[in-house]
Amino acid sequence: MNWLKLESIEQLQTIKDNSSEHLVLIFKHSTRCSISRAALDRLERNWQPGEMNDVKPFYLDLIRYRDVSDQIAEDFSVEHESPQVLVIKNGQSVYDRSHIDINYRELAVIARRAAIY
């Protein structure tokens, strides 16, 4: 899995713009939380490039870039949580989950549906 680093608020506009061409996944990770580490490991272990061809995955270290995390909450109208995954399509969050609700199978289904439409 090749994470793109999300480190600035300015990148959020690029993510919104690019999300009309492909899905964007944002994983908000707390480097101080074992639950967040487990969710990240689970996602990385299950990631299948063939299923996720049209998904650009971004990784946010929310301890280091809390301002970016706060802006994500505002821009995409989601409550801040950690760990948290969001799927962005056409500039909007179409899916968000946190903690143990982060589920690779659900993400793969969303990716397949997006490829059809």
Topology, domain 4-116: Glutaredoxin (3.40.30)
Please state, in angstroms and rounded to a whole number, the distance separating the CA atoms of residues 79 and 105.
23
Please state, in angstroms and rounded to a whole number, the distance separating the CA atoms of residues 110 and 95.
9
pLDDT tens readout for residues 33-91 = 999 999 999 999 999 988 898 899 999 999 999 999 999 999 999 999 999 999 999 99
**What residues contact residue 58 under an 8 Å CB cut-off, 6+ apart?**
3, 4, 5, 6, 11, 15, 24, 25, 26, 27
Return the pLDDT at 20: 94
Which pTM value belongs to this model? 0.94
Return the pLDDT at 50: 87
